[in-house]
Amino acid sequence: MTKVHNYSAGPCILPQEVLEKAAAAVQNFNGLNLSILEVSHRGKDFVEAMENARSLVKELLGVPEGYQVLFLQGGASLGFLTAAYNFFPQGGKAAYINTGTWAKNAIKEAKRFGNVDVIASSEDKNFSYIPKGYGIPSDASYLHYTSNNTIYGTQFKKTPISRIPLICDMSSDIFSKEINVADFDLIYAGAQKNLGPAGATLYIVKEKMLGKTGNDIPTMLDLSTHIAKDSMFNTPPVYSIYVSMLTLEWLKKNGGVSWIEKINQQKADLLYSEIDRNGLFRGVTEKEDRSNMNATFVLNDESHKETFDKMWNAANISGIKGHRSVGGYRASMYNALPLESVQVLVDVMKELERTKG
Ligand SMILES: *Cc1c(COP(=O)(O)O)cnc(C)c1O
C-alpha cells in the first residue's frame, strides 16, 4: 500500500498499529473466534475493554477524584445540548465564547434554556483569532468555550480563568497536550478528531455538579443515567470505544500526553515556520492563537493553486483542502500524523517556491 500523508480534519488519521489491531478484532476478538462486531457489550471481554478505555482516559489526563469518564453517542453536536441540559438551570444564564462554527452551534442549543450571554466573539474577523480581555459574569451558571477551532485553525493557549463552572468542547485537541482536568466541570469531545473512529463521544464530568438545574432531562441526555450504569446504560458504540482504547494504549506506551505534546509542537513549528518563511504563502490566523492541530494557510497568488495542488497530490498528501468557510488549505496534524508527513508537505511548499518564486 502507498503511504499516504493523511491530513484529514476528521475523521482523522489513526496510528498504523491501532488500525492493524482494530482490523484483527473484527475477525477475532480476544481469541474468542468471534468478531468484536457480533458479541454482547455485556460480555466480559467488551466490559473489560470499556473499563480499560475509561481508566486510560483517567490515567493519561490525570483525571482527579470526583470526576466520571463516559463514552456516549451523538457526537460533540449532541454534547452542545447535553451540556446545557445538565448545567443550565431553569431561568438562569450562561456565558459562551464564540470562536467559530462549533461554538455557534453550542450557543444555538444553549439558547433553548434561557439567557445566553456571548461574552466574547472573534466573528468580526472571520474567527481568525482568540478573543482576550473579556469579563466573565459572576451570575452566569457556567462558561462554555471551544478549546480548538478545527475549521479556522485557532486554539486557546491558556485555559480561561473562571470562577464560575467551566465547560469545554475539546473535540479537536483532547489528548494533544497536557490539561488540568480540575479546571473544568465538564469536558466533551467527539472521538473522531484525535482519539478514534466516529461514533463515540467522550465526557469527563465533575459528578457533584450534576442534578442541580431543575431541568426535566431526557433519560439519554442525563449524564447521571450513564454514570449510574458505568457508561453501559444502553448499547454503547462498541467498535469506536474499542479502537479509542487501542489509541489510548498506543499513546500510553509511547510516553503519554507529555510525549505527544512535544511532537505536536515540533510538527506545528515546522509547518508554521515554512508558512512564514515562504513568500508564496501566508497564514490566516493571528500568530499567537495558531492551532497546533489545524494549520490554515493560503497562497498569496491564487494562480499557483493548480500547480501546488498537483504537487501535493503527487507527493501522496491527502486532506489539506481548506474548509469552505476559510478557503485555501488546512493541514490537520493530529496525534497520529508523523513528523515525517509534515516534512513532506514543507518540502512540497519549498519546491513550489523553487519553480514559481
Ligand atoms: C468536529 C467538531 C464538532 C462536531 O463533532 P460531531 O462529533 O460531528 O458532532 C464539534 N466541535 C468541534 C471543536 C469539532 O472539531
**Count of domains forming the chain:** 2
The whole-number average pLDDT for the span 266-292 is 98
Indicate which residue of 102, 173, 177, 185 is catalytic.
102
At 329, is the pLDDT very low, low, confident or very high (cuts 50, 70, 90)? Answer: very high
8 A C-beta contact, residue 93 and residue 115: yes
Range of the domain at 348: 256-356
pLDDT at 345 over 90: yes
Query: Could you read off the pLDDT of 121-142 as tens digits, one per residue?
Result: 999 999 999 999 999 999 999 9
Pull the grid cell for residue 142: 457556567
Q: Is 287 a catalytic residue?
A: no
Q: CA-based angle 227:228:232, to the nearest 5?
A: 75
> What is the per-residue pLDDT for 3?
87
Domain termination residue (choose one: 191, 223, 254):
254
Mean pLDDT of 198-213: 98
Rounded CA-CA distance 147/167 in Å is: 10
pTM score of the predicted model: 0.98
The active-site residue, picked from 173, 177, 193, 312, is: 193
CATH for 110: 3.40.640.10
Instruction: Sort strands 143-146 and 166-169 into parallel, antiparallel or unpaired.
Output: parallel
2 within some domain:
no
As a whole number of angstroms, the distance between CA 319 and CA 330 comes to 8
Split at pLDDT 50, 70, 90, the class of 10 is: very high
Question: 77 C-alpha to center of ligand 1: Å?
Answer: 6
CATH number at residue 280: 3.90.1150.10
- Indicate whether 248 and 264 sit together in one domain: no
Model confidence at 2, pLDDT cuts 50, 70, 90, reads confident
Specify whether 331 is located in the same domain as 220.
Answer: no
Helix (H) or strand (E) holding 190: strand 186-190
Residue 206 sits in the same domain as residue 345: no
Give residues (CB < 6 A) around ligand 1. Answer: 10, 75-77, 102, 146, 150, 169, 171-172, 190, 193
34 Cα–ligand 1 center, Å? 33
Q: What is the SS3 assignment for 231?
A: coil
Question: Which pLDDT tens digit goes with each residue over 209-223?
Answer: 999 999 999 999 999
The pLDDT mean for the chain works out to: 97
Q: Are residues 134 and 36 in the same domain?
A: yes
Cα 353 to averaged position of ligand 1 atoms, centre (Å): 35
End position of a domain, from candidates 254, 269, 290: 254
pLDDT at 179: 98
